[in-house]
Structure formats: C-alpha cells, structure tokens
Structure 1
C-alpha cells in the first residue's frame, strides 16, 4: 500500500458499530421512558421469524490485560458470580414486562470481561433462567468469548448442550515479548487444547482473535503468530487493529511506553502483509477486520447480502431489537440506543430498585436513520446508494470529500452510489466518516477515537 495514503488517511475515527457513535449521542433528548417505548415498538414490529438478539456482559477478569479497552472488573474472588448473575436475571425480567408475548431469541452472545471466569454451573443457571421465559428460534446463533487459559472442557460442553455452536478465543499474539508487554501470558498449547476440545464436542465455528499494532510488533512476530494460528485453522479470524485509547481507559493501557508501538505506516504493513498471507492460505476478507473460510456462515452471509453489524461486531443475521444485559451493556432497538450503568455496584442498585439500569442513550431522528443505513451499507457491503428519500443536506459536502478519495483510488462514484474499491477496503472507516453528520457538525475538541489505520 502507498505509504502516502496511510499518512494521509491515518486519523482518529470511529469503528462504526453504531450510528450515531456513542460520543455523539444526544443525551438531552433521552430518557428511560422513551427507551422503553422504543423497545416496545421494535418488539411489536419484529416478526416471529426474525426474533431478537441478546448480548450479556460478564465483566469479571482475574487479571488486567494492558491492551484492553473493555468495561471490566478485575478480581480473583469468584463469590461475585452468583449475585451478579441474579441481577442479570432480574434485569431480564424487567424487559419481559415490556413484551406482549414470550420473546423468541435468535441470537445470543456472551461477552466481557471474561465469560469463562464464571463456572460452567453458574453459566447454566444464567442461561436456563433466560431460556425458561423465552422461545428459541429454529436456527439460533449462540456464541461466547473464551479465555484459552481458563476455558475448560466442561465450559465448552455445558454451553454446547445449551445450544451454543460458535466460540471465539482471544489469542492476540504468541510472541513472548509482546505477551509480557500486554500482560497476557498465554501458551500456544492452551489455545490448541481449547480449539481441539471445541471441535471434538461439535462446535461448527471456532474463531480466534488476533491484534496487530501491539507494542514491539514487527512483521516477523506477526507472521509467527499468524502461522501458529493457521496450524489450528480456525473457521474465522478477527484481525483487529490495536485501539490505543489510554485517555479513555486510564492506567490500563499504560503498561508500556508509547514509543514501543509501531508507527502508522509500520502498523498498516502488519495488516497488509497479514491479509496477503491469510488469503494465500484460504481465508476470505469479510467486511472490515474479519476473515473466514468459505464454509463459515459469516462469509456465506456476506455473499448472500445478509451480513449485519452492531455492538457485537459483524453478525451473520440481523434482528431489529438487541437487548444488552449486564453492567455497561449497550442495547439497540433500531430507533434508539441505551447503555447500562458502568459499574457493578451502580448496575446492581438500579436493578434491585426495579429500574431498567440505563444511564445514557440516544433517540434516533429521521435523519439519523437515513445516515445509519448508509454507514451500515458501507461497513457491511462496501457500497451504498441514495434516492430522493435517502439524501441528506450535507451529501454534496460528503461527495466533495469522496471525490478526493476517488482520485486516490479508494472509492468509485456514480450519480447515486458509492462503492469502496479493494484498495479502499482498508480505509472503510474513513469513507464512512464522510457520511457522519453528527461528527461533521460537532467536531470534538479533544481526541476521542483511536486511529483509523
């Protein structure tokens, strides 16, 4: 890739798991009552075949990984498990009161934190509590994130028996120097073991998460990690750019000197070289930051035009309503977003008081809905079109910025469409930013996003 393009477009920008992005939510127009009304509306509009999605945030970790920007609580005290899960089930009951009938769960994801911090028995109690008051779709998509160091065969079997068929393991990197810098000491043998167990049990999709741009990263180290990963041949891979945001997460991301991080140009080469290697070995790029083998349903959903993106990342199907349960979880009713209290104590207190524990959110107006569709199209299909009903006031301004990108070979423009080229795929976030009216109109005075490249 042309290094001048990297230097030109390597600017802070959102990852677009939503529009508007969280920093540009209009909290003044949000209330818990408006949120509940949007949930009821969305649930009523969802057909039985589509169902709803659930994201359950399990925030506890036994140690701090210094690359992590997630909302988590570090503790070795497993006595926290039961009271937390009891609160999650009570929160679910609060949502059930809004529904006119039993919800049909199409998609469910356990994220964190470290979901496998919780014992298999406690995870079974949580999920059976959720399922006992719900219906399950005919072809559900249940997944969880597992830490290779503490995921047991019992975890995998218990969740499989409850309907889970996809698991993802956070690998990040196999180089000892990199692992030490990010406080994530994790032998290859542990990843190999949990991957083998998952396949023996019958999981149909095993995913590994890799991160490029970590401290001390060189191509030699990145290549070593990719080749070790490919010995296990996971069905899909997330190949994420390290988001260095210590101004948001404080000391957690200060476990190394910033001079130890690769430059923008060096970081992009890690991705470009990694992409070439992955494609040579049979992986297909899906959307942004993801790769999959051709048989995996994420790749198939992209080919069939059904891929979707939300706060859980890329998913192989879309539901209009996604309910987030647990501390800091974000929900999406399509018409509104809402985020829960960000500390365990505040979250538990609100639920015990009989309140859906949302702390902030955003009600989307008609313009937001138009822009949301455009950005979703770009992120999922690398293309969007417009007509008289989907234009917006700043479209000429956006086209001006896109014209420059067209000159750089990143996009192709027609009278009523934009298509991101193969070279432009690496700059998808930059292309989406040209449609981001909320950010255009309210340029942040301080840096709030990681670099796009």
Structure 2
C-alpha cells in the first residue's frame, strides 16, 4: 500500500456497519410505530428459519479509557447493576409482546462499557431472564467483551454455564507509554491470565482487539504487541485503525493532543507490518480489519460465503432481525433501524411508562435496500453484482464513473455486471463503498462526521 494511495484516499468516511449510515437516517419519517411494524414483519419472515440476534449494551466502566468511542458511564458504585438489569429485562418484555411466537436466539453479544463490571451473578440473572421466554437455536453463538484486568474465572464460568463460548479482550497495545496515554494500563500477564482461563474453562473462540494509530505508538510498539499476541494465539483478531472522533465523543478522546498521533505514513507502515506478521503466524484476513485462524467460525463463514456485517461488526452468520437492548443500542429489522436513548435516566423513564426507549431511526425505502445489499457484499465478500434480484439501480452508471479512478489505481475491476475489489484495493474498501453511498454523494457533510478511512 503506497504512501501516494494513502495520501489520496485517506479521507473521512463511514465504517458501514449499516446503510444508510446513522447521520443520514431520515428521522422525520421515522416513528416508533413504523419501527415496530418493520420488526414484526421481519420476525414473521425469518424467526423460524434464521432466529434473531441480540445485542445488549452494558454501559458501566470504573475507569475512562481515552481512546474509547463507546457510550459509557463511569462509576465505582456497583449498586447500579441490579436496577439496570431489571430495566433491560423490562425492555425485552416489551419486545416479546410484539411477537406471536417465542423468538429463537441465534446470536447474543454483550458489549459495553465493560460487561465484566457486572458481577457473575447479575450477568447470569440477565441471560437467564432473556432465555426464560425464548428458544435457543441449535447453532447459537454467545459472546461478550471482557476486560482482561477485571474478568475473573467466576465471570467466565458463569457465562459459560449459560451458553457463552466466545470472548474478546481489548488489548489495544502492550507498550506502557501508549497505555498511559489512552488510560488503559494492562500488562501482558493480565491478558495471558484471562485468555488461559477462558480456554481452560472451555471457550472455543478467544479474540483480541489490537489498535494501530494510537498516540505515541511506534512501529516497534506494533511489532512488540503482535509478537506477544503470537504467544497466546487468539482464535480471531481485530486489527484496526484508531478512530479519532473527539468532536463526537467529547472529553473521552481529548486525553492527548492531535500531534501525539502517528502521521499517515507511519500508520501505513504499522498496518502493513501488522498484516505481514499476522499472516506469518497463520491468520487469514477476514473482510476489513479482522483476522482469524482457520479453526475459527469467522474464517469458516468467509469460506462458505456466509460472512455478515452489522452493528456488532463482522459475524459468522446472518439473522434478518437484530434487537439491541440497553442504552444507545441499535436494532436492525433489515427494513428499518432504531436506536435507544443514550442517557440512562431517559432509558429508565421510557421503560417506566412501558415505552420501548427508541429515540431515532430510519425506515429503508427500495433504493436503500438495494444499496445496502451492494455495500454488504463489498464489505463481506469484496465483490458485488447486479444481475440478480433487481440489484440494478438508476444511478449505477454514476457509481461506475466515480469508481473509474480507483480502477485506474488498481483497487478494483469493473465487469459488465459486477465489481470486484483487488487485493491492493481491500484496505480501501470503505472508499469504494462510498461511491455506492447515494445519500452521502447527494449531500456531503458540512462538518467531519466520520473517522479517516485508512
């Protein structure tokens, strides 16, 4: 990946966990009633065949990490745990009232915040409350985000006992200078302990998150982190660029100066070195920013063509319906998106009045659905076609024109009825998707909304 291409294509752009992207949702035509209708339709179409996915947001953290862009509430008062779980189960009950049959749970993910802020007993109470009125799919996959510093054997065992087999740990970087800058002091020994415990208990997939482009991070730091990661050989890895968006996330990402971040050329070197080292160890690249060993379900899903991408990132299988529970969670019915209120107080207030705590969303029109499919195919399979299922759309010729320069640069090949991203172009897949993003093309943002693409 040449520096000239980096300089040319390293612009602000979406990560495409959805289309339309959140800034382009049409909230004026959205309503809670329309959202419920879209979910009921999707549930009827897909529950018996696919099941549904659940994402549960657990927002509490004891310490603020200054690289984090997630919705969180910092506190050391663990008395907040039980009321929050009661509220999440109340929200789940409100959703269950919409359905004529029990939902089949295929995927469930606990994110945060810090899910392991909660006690093992409260986490079990949460999951048992979800499953009490549901059916478990035979091939279900339950996963959670664990903090290596506070994930105990009791946490891992309690979640294993209610069906969890996958855990991901946020590593970021092992260098102490970088860790101090991002306020995440986390020795290698803590990550090793948490990884070994999970495997000892029986978890079949352990993942690590590694970030490049962090403040004060050097090429040697990235190399050191990946070589240490090699010792533990996690089943899957997220290796991605730090998304610096302080204008959105406020003080949480202002713990260091912009000048402390690596310049574009150094970030390119960090990315290339990381990819090379991971390949030498045996990791296969999955979509964008993700790597897995051949024994992991994410790799198997890619080989079989079943890889999917949603608000949880890349997943090994697709469900048409995904319900997000908890503050700020986003739900996806395929026909619509809905996001919960971001404050815990507002969340509690809606539930007190028996209202699903959605505050914004988007109902997809026919054009949205077609573009969404193209972007999903590009993000998950690095190719898309318009020969089947009416995937042709009126402005396709304009998209092809926008892609011509990328084709000249060797990033993709345009066929008669298809586009395929080259190996050289895979790091720029977000830029390629932007050419398909009709809403973005029609109205370029006046201010920076997204992180940089490379």
TM-score (norm 2): 0.99
Counterpart position of 1:9: 9
For the 8 Å contact 2:181–2:215, the answer to whether it is kept is yes
SS in 2 for 1:56: strand
Counterpart position of 1:444: 445
Counterpart position of 2:139: 139
> Deviation of residue 396 (structure 1)?
1.5
Counterpart position of 1:70: 70
For the residues of structure 2 that align with 1:268 and 1:321, how far apart are their CA atoms? 37
Counterpart position of 1:386: 386
For the residues of structure 2 that align with 1:323 and 1:337, how far apart are their CA atoms? 10
Counterpart position of 1:413: 414
Higher alpha-carbon deviation: 23-32 or 265-274: 265-274
For the residues of structure 1 that align with 2:350 and 2:49, how far apart are their CA atoms? 33
**CA RMSD for the aligned pairs?**
0.7
For the residues of structure 1 that align with 2:93 and 2:321, how far apart are their CA atoms? 16
Does 1:395 pair with 2:416?
no
> Deviation of residue 47 (structure 1)?
4.1
Runs of 4+ in 1 over 2 A off after TM superposition: none
SS in 1 for 2:164: coil
For the residues of structure 2 that align with 1:365 and 1:47, how far apart are their CA atoms? 22
Counterpart position of 1:313: 313
Counterpart position of 1:150: 150
> Deviation of residue 272 (structure 1)?
1.0
Deviations 1:374-411 (A, max 9, x none): 00000000000013821222211211121111110100
Contiguous gaps of at least 5 residues in structure 1 = none
Higher alpha-carbon deviation: 308-317 or 263-272: 263-272
Counterpart position of 1:262: 262
For the residues of structure 2 that align with 1:264 and 1:133, how far apart are their CA atoms? 51
Higher alpha-carbon deviation: 380-389 or 29-38: 380-389
SS in 1 for 2:324: strand
Deviations 1:162-194 (A, max 9, x none): 110000000001000000000000011000001
Query: Where do 1:93-108 residues align within 5 Å?
Result: 93-108=93-108
Query: Where do 1:158-169 residues align within 5 Å?
Result: 158-169=158-169
> Deviation of residue 31 (structure 1)?
0.2
For the residues of structure 2 that align with 1:265 and 1:404, how far apart are their CA atoms? 22
Contiguous gaps of at least 5 residues in structure 2 = none
Deviations 1:21-51 (A, max 9, x none): 0000000010000000011001000142310
Query: Where do 1:216-365 residues align within 5 Å?
Result: 216-365=216-365
For the 8 Å contact 1:332–1:338, the answer to whether it is kept is yes
For the 8 Å contact 1:49–1:137, the answer to whether it is kept is no
**Count of paired positions:** 453
> Deviation of residue 266 (structure 1)?
1.3
For the 8 Å contact 1:307–1:316, the answer to whether it is kept is yes
For the residues of structure 2 that align with 1:216 and 1:423, how far apart are their CA atoms? 28
For the 8 Å contact 2:47–2:104, the answer to whether it is kept is no
For the residues of structure 2 that align with 1:416 and 1:333, how far apart are their CA atoms? 29
For the residues of structure 2 that align with 1:49 and 1:281, how far apart are their CA atoms? 38
For the 8 Å contact 1:236–1:296, the answer to whether it is kept is yes
For the residues of structure 1 that align with 2:86 and 2:218, how far apart are their CA atoms? 45
For the residues of structure 1 that align with 2:166 and 2:372, how far apart are their CA atoms? 28
For the 8 Å contact 2:52–2:319, the answer to whether it is kept is yes
For the 8 Å contact 1:214–1:242, the answer to whether it is kept is yes
For the residues of structure 2 that align with 1:153 and 1:239, how far apart are their CA atoms? 26
For the residues of structure 2 that align with 1:56 and 1:183, how far apart are their CA atoms? 25
For the 8 Å contact 2:328–2:341, the answer to whether it is kept is yes
For the residues of structure 2 that align with 1:352 and 1:268, how far apart are their CA atoms? 50
For the 8 Å contact 1:58–1:112, the answer to whether it is kept is yes
Deviations 1:327-356 (A, max 9, x none): 000000000000000010101110111000
